[in-house]
């Protein structure tokens, strides 16, 4: 007001009354506008400062936050403007040096492949790449990955291929990564490093191993009893192989025989993918109990032994094929079923369904794996200098079986068939000692056992085997107690 009075006194002597009133009103109006603009400018500065502070200040922990009930000296904002003001202040992009929270981040793998397919019978790499919309040049570049992998030229039905393309290239499928999944544990990733250059890396997932206990009683056959006990066919065949040196599963098993075992099962992401090694087992046959424990010696070789360290296996298995029946035995004066003449039957015939696995009776080297006259598809194994075994009429050979390759006792070498001079699917098995045919079933008990645990390793064997035997007994005892409580619930 002092400013207005001063201006009024200065104008009194220069202008008529009406002009002085108009001019004075104009001055007052200008003063009010200037004052309002100054206040608005201060408010704008406050707002911008608040936004900068919000972006640069650290977030306060709950205990450090200012009490919302405390009054703060700040210009009042109309409620109608408050929502828009707050929204404009908190809606801001993340700075370049920050990333989104982990849960919002995505990776190429988590988004899934751009194209996936499973290898089918008759497929090759060119056909598979064509299905993915890729060219022969892509096939060439991936096939020449470093280190070079023979995997791509040996794809088997059931393998899965996952293709990942460059997301920035919308016109063509530009391959940046190929994942070949062999099974749930093994895969190979082919990754593009630069134009026309891929690298190959093998990946192996370690499965979760769980130790399980199973037991069963034979009412009909070993196979069916094991199946009722929750054991797979593979575990049952391994069990038969372990005790095959002391029990003839074709002739010796009786109703009421029992067996139990401790073995491993493998899981990936909680899903069962297969069985692992048997650790310990017991088999009670006609009242006599046989016990076997797995032992890996200091050189890395694994075998099964009884608690005294004696090998569980003979140098040869009693039967090279399991869960079958003998259809024709060793007979030097047998009448041939096709030729209708007296011709010596120098082996043992095991009748079995077509495709039943045939295993090597002992360790040795394959000297023949091809067709041979009336034998059809034949495998011959030489066991040192003294022994030889023959496996005839096979439907097919096992993977990797060829002349010159070594085999272990119990290793699958072929599958039952009816090739050559056979009237039906069966295995014709011959056993030769010093070049002379012998009855494998009568000479078996005269053959030496495999090597037992050597003296220097006996203490190590005892320490390891006692742990396994204690675990086996604990599980068996628990099962017996539960069974007893089930029968006599009042105890």
Cβ–Cβ under 8 Å, residues 362 and 406? no
Rounded-to-integer distance, Cα 346 and Cα 361, Å: 17
Tokens of 318: 């009693």
Rounded-to-integer distance, Cα 36 and Cα 404, Å: 103
- CA dist 169 → 165, 166, 175, 372, 426 (Å): 8, 6, 10, 59, 60
**Level-2 CATH architecture, domain 215-313+452-491:** Roll (3.10)
Rounded-to-integer distance, Cα 435 and Cα 346, Å: 12
Tokens of 53: 């502070």
Measuring CA to CA, which residue among 451, 440, 446 is closest to residue 250?
Answer: 440
Rounded-to-integer distance, Cα 328 and Cα 348, Å: 6
Rounded-to-integer distance, Cα 301 and Cα 452, Å: 12
State the burial class of residue 253 (Cβ atoms within 10 Å of its Cβ: 0-12, 13-18, 19+).
buried
Per-residue pLDDT, averaged over 235-247, amounts to 86
Measuring CA to CA, which residue among 251, 372, 244, 248 is closest to residue 316?
Answer: 244
How far is C-alpha 8 from the chain's CA centre?
97
Residue 38 reports pLDDT greater than 50: no
Cβ–Cβ under 8 Å, residues 305 and 291? no
Rounded-to-integer distance, Cα 272 and Cα 106, Å: 29
Cα end-to-end span (Å), the chain: 108
pLDDT in tens, 416-426: 999 998 889 99
Helices (H) and strands (E) in the chain, counts: 9, 20
Rounded-to-integer distance, Cα 349 and Cα 320, Å: 11
Measuring CA to CA, which residue among 400, 348, 344, 407 is closest to residue 380?
Answer: 407
Per-residue pLDDT, averaged over 54-83, amounts to 38
Residue 166 reports pLDDT greater than 60: yes
For 447, which DSSP code?
Answer: S
Rounded-to-integer distance, Cα 69 and Cα 376, Å: 96
Residue 62 reports pLDDT greater than 80: no
Window from 101-110, 195-204, 272-281, 303-312 with minimum mean pLDDT: 101-110
227 Cβ contact list (under 8 Å, min separation 6): 233, 236
Fold of the domain built from segment(s) 115-204: Nuclear Transport Factor 2; Chain: A, (3.10.450)
Residue 333 reports pLDDT greater than 70: no
Cβ–Cβ under 8 Å, residues 403 and 369? yes
- Pick the more confident residue, 382 or 153: 382
pLDDT mean across residues, the chain: 78
**Level-2 CATH architecture, domain 325-446:** Distorted Sandwich (2.70)
In DSSP terms, which residues pair with 197 in a beta bridge? 194
Window from 27-31, 367-371, 415-419, 434-438 with minimum mean pLDDT: 27-31
pLDDT class of 27 with cuts at 50, 70, 90: low
């Amino acid at each position: 007001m002092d400013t207005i009075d001063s201006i009024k006194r200065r104008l009194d002597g220069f202008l008529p009354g009406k002009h002085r009133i108009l001019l004075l009103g104009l001055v007052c109006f200008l003063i009010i506008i200037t004052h309002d603009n100054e206040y608005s400018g201060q408010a704008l500065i406050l707002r911008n400062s608040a936004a900068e502070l919000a972006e640069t200040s650290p977030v306060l922990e709950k205990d450090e936050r200012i009490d919302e009930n405390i009054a703060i000296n700040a210009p009042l904002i109309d409620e109608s403007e408050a929502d828009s003001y707050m929204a404009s202040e908190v809606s801001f992009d993340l700075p370049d040096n920050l990333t989104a929270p982990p849960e919002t981040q995505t990776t190429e793998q988590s988004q899934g492949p751009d194209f996936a397919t499973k290898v089918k019978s008759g497929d090759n790499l060119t056909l598979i790449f064509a299905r993915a919309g890729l060219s022969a040049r892509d096939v060439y570049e991936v096939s020449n990955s470093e280190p070079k992998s023979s995997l791509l030229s040996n794809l088997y039905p059931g393998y899965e291929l996952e293709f990942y393309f460059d997301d920035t290239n919308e016109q063509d499928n530009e391959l940046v990564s190929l994942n070949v999944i062999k099974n749930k544990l093994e895969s190979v990733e082919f990754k593009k490093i630069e134009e026309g250059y891929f690298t190959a890396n093998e990946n192996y997932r370690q499965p979760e191993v769980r130790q399980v206990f199973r037991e069963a009683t034979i009412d009909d056959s070993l196979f069916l009893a094991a199946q009722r006990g929750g054991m797979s066919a593979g575990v049952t065949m391994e069990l038969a192989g372990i005790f095959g040196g002391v029990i003839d599963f074709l002739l010796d098993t009786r109703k009421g025989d029992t067996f139990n075992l401790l073995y491993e099962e493998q899981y990936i992401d909680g899903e069962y993918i297969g069985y692992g090694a048997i650790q310990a087992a017991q088999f009670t046959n006609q009242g006599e109990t046989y016990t076997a424990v797995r032992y890996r010696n200091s050189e890395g070789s694994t075998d099964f032994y009884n608690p005294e360290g004696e090998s569980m296996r003979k140098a040869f298995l009693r039967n090279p094929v399991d869960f079958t029946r003998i259809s024709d035995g060793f007979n030097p004066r047998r009448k041939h079923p096709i030729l209708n003449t007296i011709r010596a039957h120098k082996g043992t015939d095991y009748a079995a369904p077509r495709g039943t696995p045939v295993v090597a009776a002992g360790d040795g080297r394959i000297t023949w794996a091809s067709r041979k006259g009336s034998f059809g598809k034949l495998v011959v194994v030489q066991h040192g200098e003294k022994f030889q075994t023959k496996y005839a009429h096979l439907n097919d050979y096992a993977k990797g079986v060829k002349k010159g390759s070594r085999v272990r006792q119990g290793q699958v070498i072929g599958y039952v068939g009816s090739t050559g001079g056979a009237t039906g699917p069966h295995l014709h098995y011959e056993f030769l000692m010093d070049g002379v045919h012998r009855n494998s079933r009568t000479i078996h008990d005269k053959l030496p056992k495999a090597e037992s645990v050597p003296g220097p390793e006996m203490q190590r064997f005892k320490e390891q085997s006692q742990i396994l035997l204690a675990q086996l007994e604990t599980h068996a005892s628990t099962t017996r107690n539960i069974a007893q409580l089930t029968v006599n619930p009042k105890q």
